[in-house]
Structure 1
Amino acid sequence: MIIKEIETFPLAVPLIKPFKTALRTVVTAESIVVKISCDNGIIGWGEAPPTHVITGESLISIKGAIETIFEPFLVGKNLLHFEAVFQNLHDIVVGNSSVKAALDMALYDCLAKLSGLPLYQYLGGYQNEIETDFTVSVNNPEEMGEDAKRYVSDGFNILKVKVGKDDITSDLKRIQAIRNSVGEHIKLRLDANQGWSVKEAIYIIRKMEDLGLNIELIEQPVHKEDIRGLKTVTDSVATLIMADESVFSPQAAFELLRTRSADLINIKLMKSGGIYKALLINRMAELCGVECMVGSMIETRLAITAAAHFAASQKNITRFDFDAPLMLAQDRIQGGIIYEGRKITFPTQSGLGITGII
């Protein structure tokens, strides 16, 4: 199975409502779509969004890296020797994790199609149905409470709440407003996106514990490079602490696991560089008794389909954050995962089940 051609296409889809975090505001989901064609007629699809504040990539850099570095390397390679292909894919250039992820998922799409299996079965097939949370963007407390109530009425029973903007007093008011709006039975996860200092994180988490706000977990409370601070927060509170931006690679995951600096890890294909490295991160975490979530950036159903296939294939992945396609005003992806409210199911076709872009 020789890689014959790599094509790229720009994709832009407006969001229904601006997506706001401590790091950025997004109004349009932009990405570069990748199409890999092999000499046996098999086609694989991938996607790379530009997330400047997290991966450092732009639309121009993604397209340029594919055309000038990765395409010359990949074209002519035999994908049946995929171990060497994936190893070299990560070695030929530093960084560019979203580019690597897009190519990686397209290559896995090809391999699973060759096997005649849906990708989640090719990777392990642990389960064939998962459920996503829904994200509440950071706004004023009243608006966040209203948004949360609407998402719950739409059938979502787990909410991921963005905090870390302004000050911790405002964040506390946001969480109280949401808890008052949705009641006690809805599971709340918080994502500070590195927005708190170590002392702020410990103070507000303990305060929420004292108030009985019943928060399931706090994602990336402190700066991504402050692993020691992350461990201090983890050791100082009863609430589960999840690492996100701190874990871009298996090496970073190893250090976090070695030092027990977090209770959970959020794996994103756009950080790990794709499924090949994400599998390694999850396996190390499983050996250490640390469960994982799989999440995403603001991506279309193409990239989310790849992430969902990976997530469903592995026992140690117990939490799923795949709501991004539900935030988009249009769905331009043909095929792929199927949403029924919070429930996600998988197509029966081999590979990702993606048939095209409209």
Structure 2
Amino acid sequence: MKITNIETFAVCAQLKKPFKTALRTVTTAESVIVKVTAEDVIGWGEAPPTVAITGESKESVISSINNHISPKLIGLELSSYETIFKVLHTSLVRNTSAKAAVDMAIYDLLAKQSNLPLYQYLGGFRDLLETDYTVSVNSPEEMGDDASQYVSEGFNILKVKVGKDTIERDLERIKEVQNRTGNKASIRLDANQGWTAKEAIYAITKLEQEGINLDLVEQPVPAHDIEGLKRVTDSVNTPIMADESVFSARDALQVVSIRAADLINIKLMKAGGIHQALKINAIAESAGIECMVGSMIESKLGITAAAHFAASQKNITRFDFDAPLMFKEENVDGGVAYNKSMITFNSYTGLGIHSVKQGGLQIGIN
């Protein structure tokens, strides 16, 4: 089958409440939906523009795909997918979210061609995932309220955002979450680059001494500070996870070569899609480092692709796929299914996406 058409559609959805981190505040989830047609079969992809992390806007994602990626991919044979991915990733530098959206659509097509769900096409290690739920950075009291609510709704793992202002204020936030949830939830802290190495060591050591139930601490220092990341990792008992420090396989190699982190968070939007994410995971696995697969504020389309990738690989042991649960209204027909914190896969081939809403309209049915 040849790739015959690539289309882009801008969509948006309101969140139930603002999503706040040390890097940004989001009230409306914007995305670019990609529809790749190979003869009469459709593959789906998604790219949420995240200027604060990938540097991409909605306009740049659409321009990258329409003006630089599509002209080079249309006409290529799906069976020569290594050629497709080489062309995709050399069509322009960076612009990883734009590449990721097209990449996941290609994988959707490949799995459909093989008559398999994507997670089985990629390896099929598991078919059940448990996601965490994110507690946005707010006042300690509001974060305690949110954490208590999420635990009551059936979530056993909380991803608690910190790094917004002072380290002492962050410690108040964490203690309030712990006090409100007790031992009912495991806590993953995410500073989103908001601490220095010294602050991170101080805060984590203090939390360890007070018996706070920490599963891990994610990206405590600025992305470029690999030496600082290693210093934190070497100084505390709590596992430290690299996120923004690892976009590419080369970044992963740098982190694992000096053991700068205990874990790596792979996101398709950082990596440029599943093809590159598989390489990052392989490098981490070869060094004995487990991975989490996370996400941006994506609809169920992008999360479904990330979940299929995560489920396929043994070395991926943690999952951060709560974004669709934050939407006021569902805008995707098909994909993974949620039962509280648990995620299951349908029996459809590929990603199992049937259609996506754009305003009041349904984009294509397949």
Query: One fold, TM greater than 0.5?
Result: yes
CA distance in 2: counterparts of 1:76 and 1:330, whole angstroms: 37
The secondary structure found in structure 2 opposite 1:18 is strand
Residue 15 of structure 1 aligns with which residue? 15
Q: What letter matches 2:229 in structure 1?
A: L
Residue 163 of structure 1 aligns with which residue? 162
CA distance in 2: counterparts of 1:132 and 1:317, whole angstroms: 13
Residue 271 of structure 2 aligns with which residue? 272
Residue 153 of structure 1 aligns with which residue? 152
Residue 187 of structure 2 aligns with which residue? 188
Query: What is the TM-score when the length of structure 2 is the normalising length?
Result: 0.97
Q: What letter matches 2:25 in structure 1?
A: T
Which residues in structure 2 correspond to 1:187-226 (within 5 Å)? 187-226=186-225
Contact 2:73 2:87 in 1 (8 A): no
Residue 362 of structure 2 aligns with which residue? none
Tell me whether 235-244 or 177-186 shows the greater mean CA deviation. 177-186
Q: Percent identity?
A: 61
Displacement of 1:300: 0.2
Contact 2:151 2:184 in 1 (8 A): no
CA distance in 2: counterparts of 1:129 and 1:185, whole angstroms: 21
CA distance in 1: counterparts of 2:86 and 2:239, whole angstroms: 34
Residue 99 of structure 2 aligns with which residue? 100
Residue 52 of structure 2 aligns with which residue? 53
Displacement of 1:214: 2.1
CA distance in 1: counterparts of 2:313 and 2:16, whole angstroms: 32
The secondary structure found in structure 2 opposite 1:117 is coil
Q: What letter matches 1:32 in structure 2?
A: V
Displacement of 1:42: 1.1
Displacement of 1:88: 2.0
Residue 328 of structure 1 aligns with which residue? 327
CA distance in 2: counterparts of 1:67 and 1:134, whole angstroms: 35
Residue 29 of structure 1 aligns with which residue? 29
CA distance in 1: counterparts of 2:38 and 2:213, whole angstroms: 51
CA distance in 1: counterparts of 2:347 and 2:338, whole angstroms: 15
Residue 69 of structure 1 aligns with which residue? 68
Q: What letter matches 1:16 in structure 2?
A: K
CA distance in 2: counterparts of 1:183 and 1:192, whole angstroms: 21
Displacement of 1:185: 3.3
The superposition leaves residues 224-258 of structure 1 with CA deviations (integer Å, 9 ceiling, x where unpaired) of: 00001100000011110000000000000001000
Residue 348 of structure 2 aligns with which residue? 349
Residue 178 of structure 1 aligns with which residue? 177
Number of aligned residue pairs: give it: 357
Displacement of 1:100: 0.5
The secondary structure found in structure 1 opposite 2:221 is coil
The secondary structure found in structure 2 opposite 1:80 is coil
The superposition leaves residues 73-98 of structure 1 with CA deviations (integer Å, 9 ceiling, x where unpaired) of: 11111111001111221112110000
CA distance in 1: counterparts of 2:175 and 2:228, whole angstroms: 26
CA distance in 1: counterparts of 2:193 and 2:8, whole angstroms: 33
Contact 2:300 2:335 in 1 (8 A): yes
Q: What letter matches 1:2 in structure 2?
A: K
CA distance in 2: counterparts of 1:13 and 1:346, whole angstroms: 23
Instruction: Extract unaligned runs of 5+ from structure 2.
Output: 358-366
CA distance in 2: counterparts of 1:199 and 1:47, whole angstroms: 38
Q: What letter matches 1:291 in structure 2?
A: E
The secondary structure found in structure 1 opposite 2:125 is coil
Q: What letter matches 1:120 in structure 2?
A: Y
Residue 256 of structure 1 aligns with which residue? 255
Residue 304 of structure 1 aligns with which residue? 303
Displacement of 1:184: 1.7
Query: What is the TM-score when the length of structure 1 is the normalising length?
Result: 0.99
Matched, 1:115 2:81: no
Q: What letter matches 2:14 in structure 1?
A: P
Which residues in structure 2 correspond to 1:78-93 (within 5 Å)? 78-93=77-92
Displacement of 1:310: 0.2
CA distance in 1: counterparts of 2:254 and 2:127, whole angstroms: 32
The secondary structure found in structure 2 opposite 1:120 is helix
Which 4+ runs in 1 deviate beyond 2 A? none
CA distance in 2: counterparts of 1:55 and 1:302, whole angstroms: 19
CA distance in 2: counterparts of 1:293 and 1:85, whole angstroms: 27
The secondary structure found in structure 2 opposite 1:238 is coil
